[in-house]
Structures are given as C-alpha cells and as structure tokens.
Structure 1
Amino acid sequence: MEQLIRKIESSLYKGFIDQNKPVSAQFKPKLLTNKNHESVLSTLLQELKTCNTFTFSVAFITEGGLATLKTMLYDLKLKGIKGRILTSTFLNFNQPKMFKELLKLENIEVRLTGEKGFHSKGYIFEHTDYYSLIVGSSNLTDSALKANYEWNVFLTSLENGEIINHFKNQFEDAWNAAIPLTEEWINSYNQHFELQPFIKQLTGNTFQINEKYLTNQLAESLSVQPNKMQSVALQQIKELRETGANKGLIISATGTGKTYLSAFDVRNFAPKKMLFVVHREQILKKAMQDYRKILGGNEDDYGILSGNSKAVDAKYLFATIQTLSRDQYLQEFTKDHFDYVLVDEVHKAGADSYLKVMNYFEPEFLLGMTATPERTDGFNIYELFDYNIAYEIRLQAALEEDMLCPFHYFGVTDFEKDGEIVDNATELRNLVSNERVRHIIEKINYYGHSGDQVKGLMFCSSKEEAKNLSISLNNAGLKTTALTGDNTQDEREDAIQKLEKGRLEYILTVDIFNEGIDIPFLNQIVMLRQTQSSIIFIQQLGRGLRKHDSKDYVTIIDFIGNYKNNYLIPIALSGDQSMNKDNVRRRTVNTDYIQGVSTINFEEIAKKRIFDAINNTNLSTLKTLKDAYLEVKNRLGRIPTLFDFIEQNSLDPEVIVGYSENYYSFLVKMKEEIPSLSDYEQAVLTMISKEFLNGKRMHEVIMIQELLKEQAISKESYLAKLNDYGTYVDEATIQSVENIFSLKFHVQNDIKKYGFKPVITNENGIYQFNEEVQESLRDSYFRGYIEDIANCAHNKSKKYDKTKPLTLFEKYSRRDACRLLNWPHDDSSTIYGYRAKHNTCPIFVTYHKKDEVETSQAYGDEFLAPELFRWFTRNRLTLDSNEVKTILSSKEAGLQIYLFTKKDDGEGSDFYYLGEVDIAEDTPKNETMPDGKGNLLPVVTMNLVLEQPVQYDIYHYLVEE
C-alpha cells in the first residue's frame, strides 16, 4: 500500500505541479478528448476490465452507446462483476427502447433519478486498492465515447481521497432517492414519450434541425447532388478521359453510392446511347430507378433487356449479362451502338459471358464498378481496363468519410455442448438443435439492433442449415424464412418486401445475398458460418452498411466456433493483408483502427479462438503468397517491387523474405522470367534482406544508401549522415554496424548463407562495398533489388524510435536484442531465459508455458500489475550465486536490464519489448520450485519495476489465458 501511495503522489505531482517529473504513467491524471488515438471508450473499457465494481451517473444514453460496452459487460457478468447506472428522462432524450436494452444487462442495476435538470456525466471504478474516475463532457453515447471532440478528466484516488468520496456521496444521495428501472415503468414512459420529427436531440446538450426530416419534405423539389466521394471521383474520371483513356475502373466499398456515381458521370458524358450491364434483374430495376432520378427524361428513354423484357431500342438500356451475351440479342447491336457502357460488379468479368460482351462492344468510354476487384483465379480484371483505376475508396476510408452506416461488430462464442464447439465437422442436427437455437436467440436479443423492429439477415453454412434452422427459429417464436439459390427471383423479392414491412424478422440464406442486392433497411447481420475468405466476409457485412432513416447503426453478430479460418476475421475487419501474424494479433487485441463511431468487439472466449487459429495456421503458404502476388501484379500491370506490396497494402515484405530468403528467389518461385543473379549476388541479397529489411535499426541501411550514391564514404561523413537522420550515434553502435557487415557478428551458418566475405569493408576509416559487390552494382537490375530493400526498411522504420536502440511494445527476437544492444557476436542460441553480458541483461519470458513443459522449467513468472513483474531466475541458484549477485548489483555495476515477453510459443521467436526494469527493493528472495520428481529446487524470485506500465491492450493480451 505504501508503494501505491507513493505512485499516486508522484503521479499527482506530475499532473498538477510539474509535467516534467519522470514517474510512472499508470496513475497520471489525463485529459480524454477522442483525439490522438486515445478515445474515451478505450479508457472506459480498460477500467471496466480491471475493476471490481463500477458506477455510472449519466444523463443521456443511446442504444449505440450501450452497444459499445455490451461485450465487455457480458464478459464481466461471467466473472461476477456487477455495476450500477443512474440516469434520467431529462429533456426526453433517452428513448424507451434504450431503457429496454438496459434491462438486458443482468449484472447492472439501473435507477432513474427525478432530480430536476439532471445532467451529470461521471464514471467511477472501484479497484482492489484504489478508485479511478472519468468525469467531463461525455454521455454514454457512441459518438461521445469515440468520435466527438470531448473534454473528460481521468483521475485516480485512494479510498480516503476527498474528491472520490465527494463523488461517491453525491451519487449515493441521488441513487437512494431514485426509482428502479422496470418493465412497467418503461411501458408507462413509452405511452407518454413524444416523438419530435422536426427537432432531433444530439448526443450532447444541443439541438439542431433534423436533416432527414427536411430531406424527406424537400426531396421532390431538390435535385440529387453528388456527395463528397462522388464529386472527387467524377473529377478523377474526367481527368482520366482527358488523358485519352477510354476505359476506367471504380473500386468503391458497398454502400458508398457507386450507381449514383455512374449516373452522374453518364450525365456529364451525355451519351447518345448508354448500356448498363448487371448480373441480376433485381439489381437492374433498382439501377434504372436511380438513373431516372439523376438523368430525368421521358420514361420511354429507359428500357430493360432481360428474360422478361426486350426494350432494345431504349436510349438508356439496362441489361442482364445472361440475356445480353446470347448471340440472338448481342448481334442486334452494332459494335459502336453504345457510346457509353457500364459494367456493374465487374469482378465477375472473368466469366466467358462478360468477356464476350466486353470484347464485342467498342464504346467511347467503358466504366467498370466493383467493391472487391480481388480474384483468386489469377484473372486480371485491371488489364480489362488498361490498368486505369479512376477512383478507389475502401471500407475504412468510407467509414471515416461518414458515407456508410456505422456498425457495431460482435464476435460472439458459438454454441458449445459437452466441451464440443461448433466446427467444420459439426453435424446438421447439432447446428439446428434446440440448445443451439436458444443460444442464437439469446445472443441476437442481447446485442440487439437499431430501430423499432429487427430486420435481419442470417448467413448459414449450407442450404440444409438455412432451411432447418428457419423452421426451428419459427417454432421458437421468431418470424423467419430461408432463401437459397433454389428460390426464384420473385420469391426473393417477396421475402424482402415482407422483411421491410415487418411480416418477417429474418431471412436465412447461404450466399445469394453476398453482393449485388440493395436492402438498406437491414439493421442486423448474423453470421452463422465460418469465414471462408475476407472478401466474402466484407461482402456479407456490407449488406447492412447502407444508410437508412430507420436505423442509426447496424449490428453485426458473428458466431465464432472452432474454425481454422478464424484468423481471417481480423484481417477482413482491418483490411490488413500483410499476412504478418503479429499484425493480425494486434488487430484482434486493439480495434481502435476502425473509424467513426463503429466498434469491433470480441467476447473473451471468441477472441481466444481467433488467437488459436492464428497460432495454428501458416499464413505464408505458397498459395496465399501467390494469390497476393498476382493481385498486386495484375493491379500494376508489371512485376511488383517489394515496396509495391507496402504501397498496395498487401503482403508484408518480411513475410516474403521469410518464405524465400530474398525477393529474387521468390520471383523465381513465382515462375517469372527475370535476369539471373549469381550465387554470391543472391547471398548478398539474402544478407541485406534478412538483416535490415525490418527497419529496426537504420544505421546499416543509411550506410548502404550512401554507398549506392558514392563508391566510398569516410567514417566522419557517415557519422554526419546519421546525425542528419536524427538517430542515436555512439562508438559501440558504430562498432556493431561494422561487425554486422564484416560478418564477425554472425554464427557460422549465417556466414555461409551470406557468402563468407564481408559485404562492406572499413579500411583506414573508409567504408566501401567489396569489389565483387561493386561490380554487381553496375547492373541496374541488381542495384534495383538493393534500393528496393532500403526503401522498405525506411518505411518500416517509422514505427520505431530512432533515438533509442529499442522501442517500447514493439517485438524483437533474441537475435535482434544481441544486435541492437551492440553485442559483438550473435549469442542468441545461449541466452535462453536471460544472460548478463556486455553491461546488458536481456530477460526473455514466455508468459504461458505449454502444459508439457517439464515442471523444473515451469517458472511462475507473472505480472503483479501493469508496471510490476515477478520474475524467476534459473533454478538451482540462490542469492549467494555469482550470477544472481551480478543482477542484484546492476545499478552499482551499470548493468542495464531489459524485459521481453511473449504470450506463448505460438507467437514464434519474437517478444514484446516492455522496457528497462529496476529491481524493487526488498523483493529478491530465496524460494523453491518442484522438479517434477518429488524434489524442490532452489530459485531466486524478485519483482521488476518497469519504466512505464505495459500498454493496456498488450497487457491483457499477455496475461489472459
């Protein structure tokens, strides 16, 4: 407790007296504004995750605000953590349906205050030894917690602190005078609640004219105008045509208005005849309606060519590909009959029917549109449009631009019975069992929906599941129907109309609604199948992303079973196609990358299943890498460089060289016809790729870049370049750089792999490539490989602190530590748990040991707090052992101790760097641990104090089972 008091005192000193005081940041007072990558929501979730109980006093609450907390509150319920919420009916802001959502929270007691003008916004969290408090401007709304510019103060206090007691007493007074929230109270409130169509209440304290209301009233008198994205895209298409291009490709996320965009461009182009090609008649009819809004004109100007209509003379013809591709209809038109042709969902254009039509017509301009141009069959969509990407906006950017309906994604745990979890082999009878049906209903009710009535779409794993599950859900009281590829177009349209009118609550399907269908009123998407590809995942999620007056957000409920492809979920949600396992883990742990008020939430058990899938899956198989490679090659129309993969948000170059030593050998495996390199040239490429591509230390890369400009550079000039770059410079680091290039640092296997001879030499203070490398660099092809690696390294170095050898919370291997701590040799194979050498002592801890680890190796290392770590030395040591004495005298001896930790062996060889540590006074002790044979082995334990508390998301990722 005394240590805690000192920490809080020093934190308060830093917060209120001297901001430059170097103290632990754990309890530092701070301002939460939703800016600078730290939202009110992330801090709120952090406090909820670690508290013993919590208290909220908030005037205004929305369904979206509750949605952001529901997963956390569910996990807290499983742990027995309870809380209280005090709210009100002030200004009639809180909706009756929101109060119903509050009643679903079984571990939360809710009361309503009658306090006049109740306008508080405070969140109190009780921890084991202290309290924390968030108070300021944020109500419990998704905008206030994640998007709005807010001012909230975060404070920490001991139980006897006057401020926290003042807040607690104020809350208790209001709480005791308040009435409980009940079903009866909600029914009464609902009867007296007055909707206000002209005025809408915002998530703060102000009001403004309801734009939706005015838009509806004035829609007939105002012409439709391009939105921000469409205006930019139209300008880019215009500029493309001005270059003489007659083809262009639009890549635009589902729901961003591609059809309207194309109609605006047709209006600008003013063709004599236009052709719009789609793959379904239902889409065709909707597209024609949208075009009429934009283009106007007589009804006779518009016509349909499909199985049911043959209006071939229309000025604006909308045709299904199935009908148009038949010779009897295609031959009715001359090749130049249409001066403007549009192809919707153009990623399907690899099919013979599309190619037949596109090769036949010769319009003045051809426009293709798609949300997902990626294909896995190697067909090059980009080539069809002469590699002219007229405009591109993907999901994250569209959310940031507020072009889509916000979503709250919930990765929930699928049904489990007798220890068996839904997986690829689960039989149909278990997928539609009464227990699973109850589980599904429980989850969809808990996570809810925006709007008055649920209008949902469920994606199932098979036709049989869709049909049988629909029957089971109907027997349980829901109104559902199953639609598959066996149903007619009329049956599909009829079901959609019933869903819109409330006569159905859910449509269950397999994949017929993945794309090309416009159901903007959908407010809940349920995924009851494994994720087969990130493309299909985004297509299905996208069904609910169109804005509609009836909803403020869409709920996505993803039932996560024991599927080997679970790793695709964070890949799809983040758009990170790097195939870097660490990136995928981070995208699962920290979901702050999602833009706007949208959120991504995983129940703890579901999250663990994703981590298991990441650990157990090889993300860099030949097929995976080849598909990604061909996608980038097709997009660019040439063999890509490594840096191209970074620019195209594709494979991590480190993944490529991890698979194939260097990029040249990778291209050979891709069967590219490229100029050959000698064995030694390949060895040099391997060395530079393996050692420097990661950008963890730029000293060597800067040396290489300078020698590419000049044949030689003096040590003085090199040091000046390092200083210009702004990185740290000391003699030990320069010696380490020289050891790397001379191969003195490397073990024998690496020396052989790198060609046996120094790549860069140092003679009399002059650095230069060896003669053989100099000769090879005269070949621009070989030089291009080296420059490419340096460009990638510069890009990757951005996430590292160039003023220090190691960057907090980034990942390093034992070998990285040897190099970056300037050890003269690679001693990584002998470090094991730790090693004190060269005035440094890196400690490497695998937090969760495998069950099969010998008892004598199952050390009890553990976090006691985010800034405090209990560490075990090797066994068979005591406080009198020389090895232990060296560590304990680290301060006096100038020995720097560094802590590296990884969750488990599934993470590979890399560890999170948690910073330099000090040994807490009076904590080193002689203890014992079992050897598995009935004996006890001596071991020394001590507490290590970190220079900075471990980042919230990484800390919980590491410690949780």
Structure 2
Amino acid sequence: MDKLETSLRKAFIDKNNTGSELDPQLVINQPDKHEFLLNLLQEQLEQCQSFLFSIAFITPGGLNAIKTQLADLNRKGVKGRLLTSDYLAFNAPETFQELLKIPNLDVRISPKSGFHAKGYLFYHENYKSFIIGSSNLTMTALKTNYEWNVFLTSYDHGEILHQLTEHIEMEWQLSTLLTKEWIIQYAENYQPITRENLALVAEKSSDSKTIQPNKMQSAALEQLEQLRESGEHRGMVISATGTGKTYLAALDARQCHPDRLLFIVHREQILHSALKSFHRVIGGPIDNYGILSGNSKDYDKKYLFATIQTISKPDVYKVFNPEAFDYILIDEVHRSGTDSYLRTIDYFQPQFLLGMTATPERTDNFNIYELFDNNVAYEIRLQDALNEELLCPFYYFGVTDFEKNGETIDETTQLQQLVSQERVDFVLEKIAYYETSGVKTKGLVFCSRREECYELARLFNERGKKSVALTGQTSMPEREEQVKRLENGELEYIFTVDIFNEGIDIPAINQVIMLRNTQSTIVFTQQLGRGLRKSPNKEFVTIIDFIGNYSNNYMIPMALMGDYSNDLDNIRRGTLETQYISGISAVNMEQIAKKRIFEAIDQFKPDDMRQLKEKYLQLKNRLNRVPLLADFKATGTLDPELLASKNNKGYYFFLQKMEKDIPVISKKAETLLKFMHLELIGGKRLNEVVLLERLLSQKEISLKEIVNLFNKNGLRADDETVHSTLQVLSLTYYVSASAKRYAGCPLITITDNGISLSNELVKALEEPMFYDLFMDSIETAKLNGKDYDQTHMFTMYEKYTRDDALQLANFKEQVPGVNIGGYKLDKERHLFLIFVTLDKGDDFQGAQVKYGDELLSQQAMHWYSKAPRNLQSPEIKILKHEDNWNILMFVQKRALEQDKKFYYLGRVQPQRETITQTTVINNQGKGTSVVHMQLDFEQTLPLSLYKYLKN
C-alpha cells in the first residue's frame, strides 16, 4: 500500500494501522517532554525543495530560530516565499529589515484587512506537507505557548492541498513586494503596540522587604543556613553567571545578621554595584556602607566592600583585628589560589567565609574546594539557570568558518589567513545575517591569539565597525574605560583574548562572537555566559560561534547540554537535537558546522587517559579524597563505566595509575573487583547486587528467601531470572575470554543447603581497600539502576550492548559478540533478539552484506535477515508462521568501535505479507540470498528518538 495512504488510514480510519513519517500529527509545545513545534519546522525546512509561508506575526527571535536552515537552503540553491502583513503594527520595522537580509526569501505584504494567517507549506520531491494552526513565527509560539497545530501531508492532486495552494497563490498575487522603500514608509507611521517588558528589573526601592529570593536563591539560602547550623565555618556557592550571586550574598547576609561584613572583589568597578545591591536588600543608613580601594579608605564601616588588591596589602589588612569581620564573602572565588587571596584568607578569622563562583574548576590544579573545607552549599549550572528563567534568553548559531581553496580554518592556520581581507568580509557577512536589525550592537569577540585580536579590531574599524582590542597586556583602567564606551554605545565591539572569560559584568552585551577553537567546556561556558546577564535594554543575546575544522569541536554540544559523561551517542544527539535548551532560547547550527562537529566526535576517544585524568583530578579536588565510582555518577562528572572498563581492567587498575600510595590488594581481590566493575556497576539488573548486599549480613540464603528478597526490592523474581543471577555470580554463565578473565574467583558458592559468599570473596573482604571499592561498586550499581525499570527485562529506549541483552534475557550461557551477529534465538523460550546498525558506514566490513535496514516510521522498520537465508531457513519460518515468539528489537545509529550500545525499541511483529526473498551482492562481489520484511513496533517510537536514528 502507498506510504501516504497507510498514514492517512492510520490517522483517520484506524489508529492501529501502520503509519510512516508522513503521518498527520497534532503538534503541541510540551516543554516537559522537550517537544516543540520549532523542531518540526526546522526539520521540514531541512528536507524541502522550496516553501511558502503565510504568517501574520513575526519577531526577530522567531526568525532567528530558522536562520541557519534558511542559510543551508540558500547554499543548496533552494528558495522560499513568505506572505505577511502590517496588521495591528505587530511586526516591527526591524523585523521587515531582517526579512530583507535573507537572500533566498521573497517576502510580500498582504493588503487584506485582519490578516491573521498561520500556515507553513513545504514542497518535497513527491509530496507536499503543511502546518496549519495557531502558531505565528515567534519564539513563544514555537516553543513555550500552548498552541495547537496540525501537520498534514498531501500529493499534488489532493483536494485540501489544491484549495490551500490556490488560495495562497491568489493572495500572493494581490500582495505588495517588501522593499527598503516600503519599510521606510512603514517606519514613519509605525506606532508599536504596548508590550509587556519581559526583562526582570530589580525594584529601585531601598525597602529590604521588596527584595525576595528567587527559587534558586531560596534553596541556596536554606543550604547555607544548614551548613552554619552544622558547625561549619566555610562554604561555597557555585552559580552560573547572571543568576544573581551578589543578591544571594546580600540575602544570606540579611538572614544571618553579621555585626560586620567584608565583601571582597577583584575589580573596583564591581564594588559600587555590589554596595548598592546589599543596601537594597539589607537596608539601613547608607553611612553603614563603605568602600576600601585605592581611592577610598572607609575602614570603620559596618558593611565594607574591598578590592583584593587593597585588602591583601599587609599594611591594610593589619589595620583590622583578625576577628573584625564575622562574615566575609569572596566574589569569583576561583581566583583564590593566588597569593593575595591566600594571604587575606589566612589572616582573617570570620565566623563564616563564603566563596562564590560560576566556574570552580581551575587549570592549574589548585584545589579551591579544599580552601572552603569542601563545603559546596549549593550549585546551579547553565541548564538549571535556563530552566528557572534566571538568565537572558539566547540564540546560539553554530556557523561555518572561512574556507579557501578547500582549506578550512583550524588550529594550525597561519595568522595571515585569520586576518585576511577575505575572512573579515566573510565574518562581517555572517554577523550581518545573524544579528538583529534595529538593535545597537554591543558585542564581545573572543579571538585565538593576541595578534589576531589587534588586527581584526583594526580591520573592523576600517569597515566602519567601531572596535577596540583588549588583551592581558591592557591595563585595568584602560579595560574599564573601554567597557564604559561599549555600554554607552561609543563602541560596537571589544575584541579580546586571555581576558573577559570571567569576572566581567557587562549586562548590556547583546552579541558574543567566538572566533576561536573551543579549548574546554569550562571556557566555552564562561564565554557564552558573558552575554547571559539580564538587562532591561535587551530582549535576548546572540551567540555566533564560527566553527572551523577543530579537533575539539565535540566539546560544543557537551557544553551546551551540560553533559560531561563522555557518552558519544549523547553528544551526537546533542548536535542534531536542540530540544534540551529550555525556555525561548535556541541552539541552531548550519549543516556544515554540524558535519565538522560529527567529524570531531568520531575522532574523540571518550576513554582517553588524559581526559579521564583531568576529570578525576577535578573531582578529587572537590571531594578532598580519592573519588569513588559512585561519586562520578552522583556529580555527573563522568560515566563511571568509562573508568571501570578502561582497558577491561576495572577501576582499581585506573587508581593504580593515578595514585602513588594506593594500597595493594591480592590478585584474587583484584579479579573480583574487575568482575564487579565490568559486569555489575551498570545497574541494568540489580538482582546480583541486591543478593550480594544481603549475603554480606546473612551468611547463607535459600532459593525461597532469594525470591522473597527480589520481590521485596521490586526486582524480577521468576525462576529464569533467579537462575540467571546465580549463574552470573557463580561464573558458570561465562565462556571463552570472560571465563578466563574471572577464572577461580566466583562471588558465590551454591550448595544443597543454599547460597553463600564464596571463600574467595569472604577473604578479599578482609582487605580494607577491596572492601571500600566493593561497597562502592554496589552503590554505583544502585545509582545507575535508577535509570532502568527493574520490574522488566529491558527498559524502553535505554541502551544495551549485545552482552547486556543476552544476559538480561536470561540466556543460559554467554555468547561472544562475533557469534551473535544480527540476531540470536532461544528456541526453548521462543525468544528472538534482533540487533540492527542503521548507518554501517561506507567501508563497513562487519558482515557479509551491507544490509539495507531502515526505519520507515515511528511504527515500523524494514529489516533484512542474515546471509545466506531463504524462505525455508528456520528463523524465517518462525517469523512467517509462528505466533508465540517474543521478538525484541535493538537498534544503534552507527557502527563505531568505541560505542557498542543499542537502543531497546521494544517488541516487534513481522508484517507477513511483506516477507520476501531477494538476492544481494556480498562483500566478495557475489550474489547471495537474504530475506527482508517490514517489522511493526508494538509501541510507537518517541518522535525525538525516531528523528535522531533516522537522520
């Protein structure tokens, strides 16, 4: 049956029918599920051959959300049309100016009174699709508003499509072409409708009761109070730039009523704004507040605000008794590793010392956490701050950097190419396309080196873009003067290198441009954060990241997602899918920029020792002890399985590399730990872990007690699972290499009387180091196990290796991966496990045939058997004739050595009328027979996962 016809039957006749990607959809923004109309709109633009929109209301933000798709279409020679209006004067003149900047978009203005249309029509090769409903081209309509839209597909001869296109073409002919002259005339008479100011502006009143903590601040204040009540005298707050750290400090000061307070900052410019914020929150006579800096010496004030440059001088801090201040706060505390800070901190003895920073991690390995007794009272990172709407919305554009003669900017590019006239023209063209018309630019540009910084600023000035270069060699007074010029509108751009990654407060910044390689996720987030502070004078900030051919490009999606697990599949999804960004912010990348990120991901080794070591040391500093695997999971620092599986030797082997004085354990203890780390900490089935934990306190347990134990803990307790659990722990499940790896070190002993810990494990538990790491393995498994439905064999849409799948499916013995291939059957239990790799690569050598497996829709896929097979092959006869089989589907996107996990997509059933034998060419150039068919999913795939696997 025709694909579209099946989709229409499913939508309008019987929902149980198999559909396709052409299925009609009701599209509703569902932020809790990260499902938005925006994603469908972007997807349709990426796939279409032309488009025609009829939209009443448009904002620069809504247009920003599709600018990279329009740029990609322009690169392919694809054009589109847009019909809009001046109805209610909603569309501002700058919106029309933005529309004129898009070279492949023809725009016309409808003269129709009350023009209020919201329709998006896409022309594809063999069909047309359209979205009609309540959503205008605004970010709130595309992401956050409760809107109803219907997505439909039609062939050219369809009646609805005929009516739609006929009507819109008629309206198009009656409309007026958008021109510069039309915009000038419109602007002369333009009187904007009143709109609510979305910027959050603090009350100007000095009444302390008017300043109330936001959700993040309330939680932090509670944690700080608990920290003091527990007897601690030092603590840290880690909070993303722009989330109100200064107000939080003032609110905490208000709640603990210090007799005297000292607030230390690293720049004098910050002092005055901090003093005003504290006075606004705490209140009282302004004479109680004073400044201690090079220009002011208010030694005797109750609330003193000092620069570190002044307070750290011995002749200054010795003016004060060490106990003069009962509350001391340090801003940007990640700087505290320098002598000036350490000298000051060592001298004063407050009742409580609070450090605040957005980025506690340091590259010099100084342990900031230890300085504050490893007390992190509260932490809120970028994604959390966006969720709480504490930051200014942003539009991140990942754009393609300059290319000449097939060579793209990379880490080794010579200076003359970085500052060539052609590259400057290219950069300015991109900026003009992505910046918002009618908004006075106040931009910060991050460069890769000093010479580039100075020269680009000069070249921008030559082109009429008022710019200045600031580097680490620029004096502090000069920096502050140029920042004031930017804020006042005398400058458009500050070019910088080495400075301004942090410690700068310029709320007016509305554009951040990145002309450098992403050296680290920390620096990326710092630079992104320069524009995220809210300001009454900006609606959003534009981030334009010029992505060259850099090896570190994989860090971009990691930083944007806040996912530091090093999971390659997650990084890929974060590059293709941008639903993770909350609110009306958006991440958008040009196709070539995405390609460069994917190339970097493919080269990235997630278990690279240098990376693992760096993350290990960061966590060790934070904890002030050797990290356990559970610590990595609990803090989201790294996927503990990466550390545990390094070289297939377990975490103890890694610790031996990292720590000189790590206690030595016996060989058998080492083997037992290796088993725990390689086989159990994933937590996909907790039966083994729960049983081991019980046996630590109960020397022997009967089979009946095991069943009760599993039931009590919400685990599968059927006979097959119980038997499989015992096989795994007694090692009788394992064969070949695995059996050899764990030989002689079972974890349990099975006798007629019951089950007990093995002698090997009992003896190993007497070793303190082994005991600690063993208990850590159990804790890590339990933490990981929360991600899985322990009442079922598999959890829908979670990831499993082939080994995981067979073990969790209670196969009687391990099967080496090379012997599994595309599927494995258990005939006795009527269990059929299928493993599919969708993108096998051009040089795929993993099988005799490059099979044409393909997802057809959220409900079905096209699947090929192994080769050679025919209609009389045993497994094909099962699929064709037998009904009582449990057929489970596992799918991975790509075949990569470092990523062997498959998504579990649930049960499937063959469409028996589609089972067909055919001949294909094998890897030796000869014909071989295979059987292919359609398999229907029992549960419809989530749209986001389907799109990711299908893309």
Q: Same fold (TM over 0.5)?
A: yes
CA contact (8 A) 1:250 1:369 kept: yes
Closer, same or farther: CA 763–81 of 1 in aligned 2, 3 Å: farther
Closer, same or farther: CA 579–930 of 1 in aligned 2, 3 Å: closer
Query: Which residue is equivalent to 1:429?
Result: 416
Closer, same or farther: CA 159–35 of 1 in aligned 2, 3 Å: farther
* 1:770 partner letter: S
Please state whether the residue corresponding to 2:508 is helix, strand or coil. Answer: coil
Give the distance between the partners of 1:857 and 1:76, measured in 2 at CA. 38
Residue 696 (str. 1) matches residue 684 (str. 2): yes
CA contact (8 A) 1:897 1:918 kept: no
CA contact (8 A) 2:243 2:390 kept: yes
Aligned counterpart in structure 2 of residue 373 of structure 1, from 339, 348, 360: 360
Cα drift, residue 184 of structure 1 = 2.0
Q: Which moved more, 1:378-387 or 1:554-563?
A: 378-387
Query: Which residue is equivalent to 2:95?
Result: 98
Give the distance between the partners of 2:608 and 2:553, measured in 1 at CA. 16
CA contact (8 A) 2:680 2:781 kept: yes
Query: Which residue is equivalent to 2:673?
Result: 685
* 2:856 partner letter: A
Query: Which residue is equivalent to 1:186?
Result: 183
Q: Deviations over 1:741-768 (max 9, x none)?
A: 3323322322232243543344459443
Q: Deviations over 1:634-679 (max 9, x none)?
A: 3334444322222212121111101263344443433275665432
Q: Which moved more, 1:525-534 or 1:484-493?
A: 484-493
Closer, same or farther: CA 592–725 of 1 in aligned 2, 3 Å: farther
Aligned counterpart in structure 1 of residue 800 of structure 2, from 807, 812, 832: 812
Query: Which residue is equivalent to 1:514?
Result: 501
Cα drift, residue 540 of structure 1 = 0.9
CA contact (8 A) 2:681 2:781 kept: yes
Q: Deviations over 1:794-845 (max 9, x none)?
A: 3323444545544454333332333234433333343374245424555545
Please state whether the residue corresponding to 2:191 is helix, strand or coil. Answer: coil
Closer, same or farther: CA 866–903 of 1 in aligned 2, 3 Å: farther
Give the distance between the partners of 1:23 and 1:713, measured in 2 at CA. 49
Q: Deviations over 1:577-608 (max 9, x none)?
A: 22233333333333322222112222222222
Q: Which moved more, 1:858-867 or 1:515-524?
A: 858-867
Give the distance between the partners of 1:631 and 1:959, measured in 2 at CA. 37
Query: Which residue is equivalent to 1:399?
Result: 386
Q: Deviations over 1:222-250 (max 9, x none)?
A: 97613313344344434433444332322
Give the distance between the partners of 1:639 and 1:651, measured in 2 at CA. 15
Give the distance between the partners of 1:570 and 1:92, measured in 2 at CA. 38
Give the distance between the partners of 1:153 and 1:772, measured in 2 at CA. 64
RMSD across aligned positions (CA): 3.5
CA contact (8 A) 2:849 2:920 kept: no
Give the distance between the partners of 2:233 and 2:823, measured in 1 at CA. 65
CA contact (8 A) 1:525 1:544 kept: yes
Cα drift, residue 424 of structure 1 = 0.8
Q: Which moved more, 1:617-626 or 1:852-861?
A: 852-861
Aligned counterpart in structure 1 of residue 137 of structure 2, from 140, 145, 149: 140
Closer, same or farther: CA 322–222 of 1 in aligned 2, 3 Å: closer
Closer, same or farther: CA 337–885 of 1 in aligned 2, 3 Å: closer
Residue 275 (str. 1) matches residue 266 (str. 2): no
Residue 408 (str. 1) matches residue 395 (str. 2): yes
Query: Which residue is equivalent to 1:924?
Result: 916
Cα drift, residue 397 of structure 1 = 1.6
Q: Deviations over 1:324-355 (max 9, x none)?
A: 32333333333223333221111111112211
Query: Which residue is equivalent to 2:29?
Result: 33
Query: Which residue is equivalent to 2:725?
Result: 737
Q: Deviations over 1:673-704 (max 9, x none)?
A: 56654322222222122122222333433433
Please state whether the residue corresponding to 1:250 is helix, strand or coil. Answer: strand
Closer, same or farther: CA 887–765 of 1 in aligned 2, 3 Å: farther
Please state whether the residue corresponding to 1:544 is helix, strand or coil. Answer: coil
Query: Which residue is equivalent to 1:826?
Result: 814
Closer, same or farther: CA 890–443 of 1 in aligned 2, 3 Å: farther
Q: Which moved more, 1:567-576 or 1:619-628?
A: 619-628
* 1:62 partner letter: T
* 2:137 partner letter: L
Q: How many residues align?
A: 941
Give the distance between the partners of 1:132 and 1:794, measured in 2 at CA. 47
Q: Deviations over 1:134-153 (max 9, x none)?
A: 44333222122222333334
Query: Which residue is equivalent to 2:63?
Result: 66
Closer, same or farther: CA 658–836 of 1 in aligned 2, 3 Å: closer
Structure 1 runs, 4 residues or longer, greater than 6 Å off: 211-216, 220-223, 778-781
Aligned counterpart in structure 2 of residue 122 of structure 1, from 116, 119, 129: 119
Give the distance between the partners of 1:527 and 1:183, measured in 2 at CA. 31
CA contact (8 A) 1:449 1:554 kept: no
Cα drift, residue 848 of structure 1 = 4.5
Q: Deviations over 1:103-131 (max 9, x none)?
A: 23333333322333333333344445555
Closer, same or farther: CA 799–222 of 1 in aligned 2, 3 Å: closer
Query: Which residue is equivalent to 1:107?
Result: 104
CA contact (8 A) 2:629 2:776 kept: yes
Closer, same or farther: CA 632–854 of 1 in aligned 2, 3 Å: closer
How does 1:637-716 map onto structure 2 within 5 Å?
637-659=624-646, 661-671=649-659, 676-708=664-696, 710-716=698-704
CA contact (8 A) 1:761 1:767 kept: yes
Cα drift, residue 926 of structure 1 = 3.1
Residue 84 (str. 1) matches residue 81 (str. 2): yes
Query: Which residue is equivalent to 1:57?
Result: 54
Query: Which residue is equivalent to 2:891?
Result: 900
Closer, same or farther: CA 843–420 of 1 in aligned 2, 3 Å: farther
Give the distance between the partners of 1:82 and 1:734, measured in 2 at CA. 62
Give the distance between the partners of 1:922 and 1:387, measured in 2 at CA. 63
Please state whether the residue corresponding to 1:831 is helix, strand or coil. Answer: helix
Cα drift, residue 450 of structure 1 = 7.9
Closer, same or farther: CA 930–770 of 1 in aligned 2, 3 Å: closer
Residue 226 (str. 1) matches residue 226 (str. 2): no
Closer, same or farther: CA 267–693 of 1 in aligned 2, 3 Å: closer
Closer, same or farther: CA 678–919 of 1 in aligned 2, 3 Å: farther
Q: Which moved more, 1:942-951 or 1:751-760?
A: 942-951
Closer, same or farther: CA 597–166 of 1 in aligned 2, 3 Å: same
Cα drift, residue 468 of structure 1 = 0.9
Give the distance between the partners of 2:180 and 2:208, measured in 1 at CA. 44
Cα drift, residue 739 of structure 1 = 3.2
Cα drift, residue 427 of structure 1 = 0.4
CA contact (8 A) 1:376 1:627 kept: no
Give the distance between the partners of 1:213 and 1:828, measured in 2 at CA. 59
Closer, same or farther: CA 152–882 of 1 in aligned 2, 3 Å: closer
How does 1:856-895 map onto structure 2 within 5 Å?
859=850, 861=852, 863=854, 865-866=856-857, 877=868, 879=870, 882=873, 889=880, 891=882, 894=885
Query: Which residue is equivalent to 1:18?
Result: none
* 1:696 partner letter: K
Closer, same or farther: CA 485–223 of 1 in aligned 2, 3 Å: farther
Give the distance between the partners of 2:940 and 2:706, measured in 1 at CA. 37
Give the distance between the partners of 1:356 and 1:69, measured in 2 at CA. 52
Give the distance between the partners of 2:610 and 2:846, measured in 1 at CA. 40
